[in-house]
């Protein structure tokens, strides 16, 4: 079973010229979703992941399941105003706009072994913002993991010096 066979491509969404990679077709297939989590877990099974930090909202789907599988903590990174306690915030550029993300100031202890996870690596703006938040808290980043990587957008370049993994590359 190849995971890329479960990704639907939708042209001109959310804007003309964008080819959107829809993961809902993978998520609604229990075997494909399970395989994705198993493949992610296999990459990090011996890396002593203490904390998985994932971005709202699709990163949560994979982050929660993988945290359960690896027996790690799960830390949500959210849009401004969604977390109830004191937060750190970073702003960043998207493939087609700007945004900001926040993390609780006490999300994990300094020196924690952190895996950053999101569903898609495009231009790298979201991932770089999460890296900045994790570093602000003193986390040791042991990997940045994606279900899908859009290689032509070179988002990996914004994550230089970090181990980057992706299960599907377009």
Q: Is 14 exposed, middle or buried (0-12, 13-18, 19+ CB in 10 A)?
A: exposed
Beta-carbon neighbour count of residue 23 at 10 Å?
23
**Residue-range domain boundaries for the chain:** 46-169
| pLDDT for residue 96 | 65
Query: Is 119 in a helix, a strand, or coil?
Result: strand
Query: Is 164 in a helix, a strand, or coil?
Result: strand
58 is catalytic: yes
Instruction: Find the catalytic residue in 56, 89, 95, 132.
Output: 95
| pLDDT for residue 13 | 94
CB 163 within 8 A of CB 143: yes
Question: Would you give per-residue pLDDT tens digits along the chain (170 residues)?
Answer: 999 999 999 999 988 998 999 999 999 999 999 999 999 999 999 999 999 999 999 999 999 999 999 999 999 999 999 999 999 999 987 666 789 999 999 999 999 999 999 999 998 999 999 999 999 999 999 999 999 999 999 999 999 999 999 999 99
User: β-pairing, 8-11 with 19-22?
Assistant: antiparallel
95 is catalytic: yes
Query: Is 14 in a helix, a strand, or coil?
Result: coil
Q: Which CATH number fits domain 46-169: 3.40.50.2020, 3.30.1440.10, 3.40.50.1110, 3.40.190.10?
A: 3.40.50.2020
**Whole-prediction pTM:** 0.95
Instruction: Find the catalytic residue in 39, 56, 58, 156.
Output: 58
CA distance 55 to 126: 8
């Amino acid at each position: 079973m190849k995971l890329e066979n479960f990704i639907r491509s939708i042209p001109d969404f959310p804007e003309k010229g964008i080819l959107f990679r829809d993961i809902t077709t993978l998520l609604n297939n229990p075997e494909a979703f399970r395989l994705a989590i198993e493949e992610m877990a296999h990459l990090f099974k011996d890396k002593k992941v203490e904390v998985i930090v994932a971005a709202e909202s699709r990163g949560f789907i994979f982050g929660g399941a993988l945290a359960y599988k690896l027996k790690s903590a799960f830390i949500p990174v959210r849009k401004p105003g969604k977390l109830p306690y004191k937060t750190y915030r970073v702003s960043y550029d998207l493939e087609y706009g700007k945004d900001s993300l926040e993390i609780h100031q006490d999300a994990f202890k300094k020196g924690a072994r952190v895996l950053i996870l999101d569903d898609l690596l495009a231009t790298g703006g979201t991932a770089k913002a999460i890296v900045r938040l994790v570093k602000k808290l003193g986390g040791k980043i042991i990997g940045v993991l994606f279900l899908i990587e859009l290689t032509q957008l070179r988002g990996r370049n914004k994550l230089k010096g970090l181990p980057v993994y992706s299960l599907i590359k377009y």
